[in-house]
Amino acid sequence: MEIPSSETAPWNLAEGDNNGLPRIIRYRPDLEPFIGIESHPQRLVIIWEYDTENSSGMPSDKQSDEMKAFEDVLASALDPNRLAVLAFILTSNGSREWHYYVSDIEEVGQKINNALSGFPKLPIHLQVESDPEWEQISIVYSICS
């Protein structure tokens, strides 16, 4: 069984609260059968911190457009062979996080660098964590169902 593309997969949206500010989670319910797949034991978190122009902590329309373009470039680079599987995106209080499950972090890093070479410097930083059981997406499922 092959992991579906994030481009064709269904996405769900869950809204919640984070210390009085809205929190939005966009996640893929179709990944449940793949939880803990041995080929993708690490989780890459790409964090984009932004200045909020409103009291909600949500990005402006312009910021959202920039983040969408960024996400599309990442999808083009990482999704075709499922080198990295985008599982969920969390937006709240001045930051957006993209959570990927990754097969080869070195290759993913190279693909990201190549894909972003034409972009101006972005306010992002990356974290890599061991998550062989896919605990974080499991938590998202338990919170959002």
User: What's 63's domain CATH number?
Assistant: 3.30.70
Residue 39 in domain? yes
Residue 52 in domain? yes
Structural domain range at position 75: 12-144
Total domains in the chain come to: 1
- Collect the ranges in the chain with pLDDT lower than 50: none
How far is it, in rounded angstroms, from Cα 5 to Cα 26? 15
- Per-residue pLDDT, 19: 83
For Cα atoms 116, 26, 138, give the angle at the middle one, nearest 5 degrees: 105
Angle between helices 105-115 and 61-78 (to 10 degrees): 130
CB 89, CB 25: distance < 8 Å: yes
CB 37, CB 106: distance < 8 Å: no
- Per-residue pLDDT, 32: 94
pTM as predicted: 0.95
- Per-residue pLDDT, 79: 93
Sign of the CA dihedral with 2 first, then 39, 137, and 142 last: positive
pLDDT digits (tens, 9 = 90+) for 43-76: 999 999 998 877 888 999 999 999 999 999 999 9
CB 12, CB 80: distance < 8 Å: no
Residue 6 in domain? no
